[in-house]
Amino acid sequence: MPKGIMLTLEQQSQRREEITEAALQLFDKIGFQKTSMREIAQAVKMGKSSLYDFFKTKDEIVVYAVEQGIMAAARAAKKIAAEESSPEECLRKIMYQHLRFTKNNKSILLWLNTEDIYLDEEYQTRLQTVRQMYRNEVGSVIEDGIAAGIFRKTDTALAARLLVNSMLSIAYVSHSSSVLLEDMLDETIRIFLHGVMN
């Protein structure tokens, strides 16, 4: 990109995409902390200080990436909810896509369900907002199930959080276990729906 060319909004967000993509790869490989802005700059072949024309801080890169990822997941969930009428099957499908999404983008998963208290407040709020948006999608499916009399009355916010958070557990075990990811998901949902009691 020549020096004096003014970027269109399109191009700007294209550039941000390039940066986050390269950054995520590095984060996945060596971790957020250990990835330096210099390395990211090198990966996208620009001067380090140019990165700061697109992102205010290093933190903002990861926040932006997670934001985008979760928003995409929320859209996907909404679509599933619109198409699938059985609440049980709907939850299963949403969780399945969540897990797939997770697998493809592990570094995002790590940020998905945890609150990062060391981030600046601005970033915390941005993340909380988008996370809640996603959980609300899940929560409304549960509420529908309750309204339809299929699920019993429960704290939907808590239940949604539990279900979404469970995906973390699966992701953690999955890479150190021979059990299939899908089998674990099935068992997790079985527990969520029916519990472990006989």
Q: With contacts defined by CB under 7 A, name the span among 39-47, 72-80, 88-96, 128-136 that binds DNA.
A: 39-47
CB atoms under 10 Å from CB of 41, counted, come to 19
Non-local (6+) Cβ contacts of 136 within 8 A are: 160
> Is 2 among the residues that bind DNA (CB under 7 A)?
yes
Nearer residue to DNA within complex by CB, 38 or 106: 38
> Is 76 among the residues that bind a second copy (CB under 8 A)?
no
> Site mask, a second copy, residues 14-33, x = CB under 8 A?
----------------xxxx
Length of the chain: 198
Enclosing H/E stretch for 188: helix 181-194
> Is 96 among the residues that bind a second copy (CB under 8 A)?
no
| Ramachandran bin of 55, using left for φ above 0, alpha for ψ from -120 to 50, beta for the remaining angles | beta
Q: Do the beta carbons of residue 113 and residue 165 sit within 8 Å?
A: yes
> Is 124 among the residues that bind DNA (CB under 7 A)?
no
Q: Which residues bind a second copy (CB under 8 A)?
A: 30-34, 88, 107, 110-111, 113-118, 142, 145, 149-152, 154-155, 157-159, 161-162, 165-166, 168-170, 172-173, 177, 179, 184, 187-188, 190-198
